[in-house]
Amino acid sequence: MVKCSNCGVEVKSSSDFCPNCGNPIKSDESSEKIICSQCGNLLNPDSAFCPDCGTKVVEDKSDTCPNCGSVLSEGDIFCSECGMGIQKKSNSSQNIKRDNLNPNQGFIEKIDFNKIIKPFIITLIASIVLSSIGIIIGLAWISYILAIILSVGFFAGLVNNEANASVLGLVVGFVLGMLEYPLIEFWWGKYVANAYEYFFGTQIIILIILGLIIAYLSNVFFKSNIRSFAEKNIPSIIKYF
């Protein structure tokens, strides 16, 4: 049995409409449900963890400042009373948010390749563009190092947790390392590419390690700052992360 949200009469949960006032029942029931942001499973409002994936859900109180308790307006990034940075709701249609750092999850268990694909494509494109600019102006192998630091350092901070960010940095470093010779050949020709390889060799191992380290540090220590900057200046990029 469920209560009609309009008149309070108890009706069968299988009913489509309230027999007393005609109010839709199933829509009320579904509107009280919440959706797990990790696996999409439909949860009860009082659920503390998703029964399918174990993701913890907590009550979202992001409409008030956690520091001074002042009421926030929609779209506020900083509290107008105390100046504290505000983390926006991940889903404004729900009154919950997921705790990404579930203490019951290990580092490996946090990895979700479905959440890495789009960020990987964006980060790799940015790395290739930055590397190409460096190659054109003659920075040689330093181009790839700077590309990893700038692209992975920024976009890894937008990924949902440090495990996914680390995988992102590792894979981007590997792919960029594989493209090291082809990029130089594309911009300067085969002769220059062969000369580059003779004098500098390949940097693939360095790029993999650097990508992994930069991604982890960015996500762990600078995530809130990077996300606040992105939400304020390039909000359209957030939907891909």
* pLDDT, tens only, 206-226: 999 999 999 999 999 999 999
Render pLDDT for 163-176 as a digit per residue (tens, 0 to 9): 999 999 999 999 99
Task: Please report which confidence band the pLDDT of residue 157 belongs to, taking 50, 70 and 90 as the band edges.
Answer: very high
pLDDT at 98: 43
Give whichever of 31-40, 84-93, 98-107 has the largest mean pLDDT: 31-40
**Backbone Cα Rg of the chain:** 24
Q: Which residues contact 228 (CB under 8 A, 6 or more apart)?
A: 77, 85
pLDDT at 175: 96
Domain assignments of the chain as residue spans, ordered by start? 110-240
Let me know if 127 is exposed, middle or buried by CB neighbors in 10 A (0-12, 13-18, 19+): buried
Q: Is the pTM of this model over 0.75?
A: no
Q: Which two tokens stand for residue 189?
A: 């020709």
pLDDT at 106: 78
First to last CA, the chain: 40
Instruction: Calculate mean pLDDT across residues 133-152.
Output: 92
